[in-house]
């Protein structure tokens, strides 16, 4: 449709875009599926075809659960592992240190514990070992008796380490979702929907989703072999662990499309039951008094789980999520809460130093921004890279330093990107050029390890490749707008309709964004160190609405809001939220961008 409000460059250097949606399609959706106009509009804007509407709006376990055996090699793997379990072969798990890895570890732990097998879990230290498997870890697992390693959320590009592990006599089974290079490692099995020969269509799954489907497949193979009947034990209560799948899926920011909509929706229903004592303790520590939401997972639960590996001990999150003891869970949850508070302080210091570096070296004008410092905390470089990307609207890399496995200092880099710029491909190209020790990940978020003496050459490589990719075009991000709203017209019931029908929201199914046009800032102040709080009204006055702009202090958005009290009119872009307070629901606005009216 023609945009009634045209903003070509907002204060955050974005173009506000109204997606083309045909009114005839909207009316057909409304008629055929009895949905409100805004829901029909969002379905059309998200390219949901009529035959997919029912699955999108109301996915069901009975009809829409993904078939694990669609994944390449899942069926022969599951039979192989079921046979190994029956024979009593010793199994261990190696999982990444982030939320996706920690939830994967907890799923493995709970599944085998139900079988009466207490498998060891190895989570690599973020600082001393870095991302992915390493031969010392595999040797330790081997020395402790492991014969089979179940490797989740890593391994797809770890060619040398996997080969070395196989030479040790280990069977290595990879359950991953990271991008594949030109070939695969020589593991015993590799289940990854991003394999070039995988036609499942499940490439949106997080590693915990792949891990969970593996447990479903193994459970079936054990049933068919008579394992449960012969031992007079029940099958694994798999559905009870979907809360872990939902948590890992949301926190890893994979697309909430296809089977992920079902896994997340049912998973949060399970989470509301608080059957996982570790998650229950974490909700209590995080101050969540109502049923957790995907937003709570991203902003309350996930950061605390990640904080352990960032500033203290890598396996705290996995231990909490697999814990069955309420007292131990409380202790672990409070430890993670303390880690998160420490993480925030260190991250703020790093960000201030990074901005100073960017300003002194004029890095903001480059197509890709890279900062590095030997004093920075290696566990927080990804968060800082993400903040830089958000602030400047460009791909960004942040490098911190730590001793490698050999004891020599090495750079640990994290990159965060913008649509249209594949960060994982850039890092894999740099590795092939001999500039990185290792590198890979996802298009929007990836990591690498580099020798300090090669950083200058790497910087030049990144600049050259970025200029080729972008063709000298100045990046102006696009913010898709779902509608224009008014303070008087938005009620809590409207927000509930969106959440219940179009949610859960996340990657590739973003939370709807609306423009509030011609707003007047009545009151504005700073909350904490970073957030801007606003009270606003429409240009002609009337009802007021509270709003927040998170992490806006020191940003162009924050500067504009803070200087607009009682003066200029603003067009505001953001999302509506319901604030539950003293039993009353009120609508508030989360401001993500603005433009002078």
Q: For residues 492 and 580, state if they share a domain.
A: yes
Task: Tell me which residue of 354, 438, 416 sits closest to 124, measured CA to CA.
Answer: 438
CA 523 to chain centre: 34
Last-in-domain residue among 473, 494, 515: 473
Q: For residues 200 and 153, state if they share a domain.
A: yes
Exposed/middle/buried for 296, CB within 10 Å: 0-12, 13-18, 19+?
buried
pLDDT value of position 1? 38
Q: For residues 596 and 570, state if they share a domain.
A: yes
pLDDT value of position 474? 62
Q: For residues 36 and 70, state if they share a domain.
A: no
Cis bond before residue 298 (omega within 30° of 0)? no
Count Cα atoms within 13 angstroms, Cβ side, for 569: 11
For residue 554, how many other CB atoms are within 10 A of its CB?
A: 14
Gap between the Cα atoms of 593 and 11, Å rounded = 7
Tokens linked to 352 = 């201030």
Q: Bridge partners of 7? A: 16
CA 250 to chain centre: 5
Q: What is the β-pairing status of strands 584-596 and 541-549?
A: parallel
Helices (H), 273-406: 277-285, 294-296, 302-311, 316-321, 326-360, 381-392
Q: For residues 226 and 103, state if they share a domain.
A: yes
Gap between the Cα atoms of 353 and 536, Å rounded = 34
Q: Please list, in sequence order, all residues whose beta carbon lies within 8 angstroms of the beta carbon of residue 497, skipping any fewer than 6 positions away.
A: 36, 38, 39
Name the DSSP class of 299.
I
Question: Per residue in 263-315, pLDDT tens?
Answer: 999 999 999 999 999 999 999 999 998 899 999 999 999 999 999 999 889 99
In a domain, 348, yes or no: no
Domain count across the chain = 4
In a domain, 356, yes or no: no
In a domain, 58, yes or no: no
Last-in-domain residue among 473, 500, 522: 473
Q: For residues 243 and 175, state if they share a domain.
A: yes
Question: Per residue in 485-516, pLDDT tens?
Answer: 999 999 999 999 999 999 999 989 999 999 99
Can you list the residues of the chain whose pLDDT is less than 50?
1-3
In a domain, 352, yes or no: no
In a domain, 282, yes or no: yes
In a domain, 345, yes or no: no
- CA dihedral over 353, 356, 360, 363, signed as positive or negative: positive
The enclosing domain of 591 has a CATH number of 2.40.50.140
Q: For residues 43 and 114, state if they share a domain.
A: no
Gap between the Cα atoms of 371 and 432, Å rounded = 22
For residue 357, how many other CB atoms are within 10 A of its CB?
A: 15
In a domain, 39, yes or no: yes
pLDDT value of position 541? 86
CA 389 to chain centre: 16
pTM of this prediction? 0.89
> Residue by residue, what is the 3-state secondary structure of 262-285?
HHHHHHHHHHCCCCCHHHHHHHHH
Distance between start and end Cα atoms, the chain: 21
Q: For residues 222 and 151, state if they share a domain.
A: yes
Last-in-domain residue among 450, 473, 496: 473
User: What's the domain range around 547?
Assistant: 1-18+481-597
In a domain, 465, yes or no: yes
Element (H, E) at 12: none
For residue 403, how many other CB atoms are within 10 A of its CB?
A: 12
pLDDT value of position 3? 46
For residue 449, how many other CB atoms are within 10 A of its CB?
A: 20
Gap between the Cα atoms of 500 and 94, Å rounded = 37
Q: For residues 400 and 254, state if they share a domain.
A: no
Burial 298-334 (b: 16+ CB within 10 A, else e): bebbbbbbbbbbbbbbbbbbbbbbbbeeeeebbebbe
Q: For residues 138 and 274, state if they share a domain.
A: yes
Taking a C-beta distance cutoff of 8 angstroms, is the pair 529, 348 a contact?
Answer: yes
Name the DSSP class of 38.
H
Q: For residues 286 and 218, state if they share a domain.
A: yes
The enclosing domain of 406 has a CATH number of 3.10.310.30
Q: For residues 532 and 395, state if they share a domain.
A: no
């Amino acid at each position: 449709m023609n945009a009634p409000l045209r903003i070509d460059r907002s204060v955050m250097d974005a173009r506000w875009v109204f997606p083309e949606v045909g009114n005839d399609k909207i009316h057909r959706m409304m008629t055929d599926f009895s949905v409100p106009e805004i829901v029909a509009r969002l379905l059309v804007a998200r390219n949901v075809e009529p035959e997919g509407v029912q699955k999108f709006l109301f996915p069901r376990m009975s009809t829409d659960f993904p078939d694990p055996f669609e994944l390449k090699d899942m069926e022969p793997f599951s039979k192989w592992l079921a046979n190994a379990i029956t024979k009593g072969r010793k199994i261990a798990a190696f999982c990444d240190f982030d939320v996706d890895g920690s939830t994967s570890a907890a799923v493995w732990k709970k599944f085998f514990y139900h079988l009466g097998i207490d498998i060891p879990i190895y989570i690599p230290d973020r600082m001393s070992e870095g991302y992915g498997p390493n031969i010392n870890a595999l040797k330790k697992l081997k020395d402790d008796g492991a014969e089979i390693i179940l490797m989740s959320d890593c391994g797809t590009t770890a060619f040398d380490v996997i080969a070395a592990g196989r030479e040790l006599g280990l069977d290595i089974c990879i359950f991953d979702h990271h991008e594949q290079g030109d070939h695969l490692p020589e593991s015993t099995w590799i289940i990854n929907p991003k394999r070039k020969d995988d036609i499942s269509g499940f490439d949106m799954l997080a590693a915990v989703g792949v891990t969970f489907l593996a447990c479903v497949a193994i459970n079936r193979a054990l049933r068919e072999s008579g394992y449960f009947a012969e031992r007079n034990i029940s099958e694994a209560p798999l559905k009870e662990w979907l809360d872990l799948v939902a948590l890992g899926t949301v926190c890893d920011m994979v697309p909430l499309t296809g089977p992920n909509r079902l896994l997340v929706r049912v998973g949060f229903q399970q989470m509301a039951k608080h059957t996982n004592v570790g998650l229950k303790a974490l909700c209590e520590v995080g101050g969540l008094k109502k049923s957790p939401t995907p937003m709570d997972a991203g902003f309350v639960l996930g950061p605390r789980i990640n904080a352990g590996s960032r500033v203290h001990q890598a396996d705290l999150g996995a231990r909490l999520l697999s814990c069955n003891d309420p007292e131990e869970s409380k202790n672990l949850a409070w430890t993670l809460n303390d880690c998160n508070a420490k993480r925030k302080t260190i991250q703020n210091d790093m960000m201030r130093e990074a901005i100073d570096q960017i300003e002194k070296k004029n890095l903001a004008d480059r197509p890709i921004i890279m900062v590095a410092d030997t004093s920075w905390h290696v566990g927080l470089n990804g968060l800082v890279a993400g903040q830089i990307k958000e602030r400047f609207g460009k791909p960004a890399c942040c490098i911190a330093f730590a001793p490698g496995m050999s004891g020599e200092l090495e750079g640990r880099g994290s990159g965060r990107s913008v649509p249209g710029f594949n960060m994982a491909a850039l890092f894999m190209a740099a590795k092939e050029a001999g500039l990185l020790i290792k590198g890979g990940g996802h298009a929007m978020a990836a990591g690498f390890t580099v020798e300090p003496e090669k950083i200058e050459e790497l910087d030049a490589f990144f600049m050259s490749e970025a200029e080729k990719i972008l063709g000298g075009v100045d990046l102006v991000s696009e913010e898709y707008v779902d509608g224009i709203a008014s303070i008087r017209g938005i009620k809590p019931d409207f927000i509930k309709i969106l959440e219940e029908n179009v949610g859960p929201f996340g990657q590739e199914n973003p939370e709807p964004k609306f423009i509030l046009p011609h707003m007047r800032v009545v009151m504005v102040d700073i909350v904490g160190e970073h957030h801007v709080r606003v009270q606003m009204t429409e240009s002609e006055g009337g009802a007021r609405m509270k709003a927040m702009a998170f992490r806006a202090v020191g940003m162009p958005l924050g500067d504009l809001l803070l200087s607009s009290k009682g003066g200029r009119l603003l067009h505001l872009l953001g999302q509506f939220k319901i604030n539950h307070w003293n039993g009353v629901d009120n609508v508030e606005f989360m401001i993500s961008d603005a433009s002078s009216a």
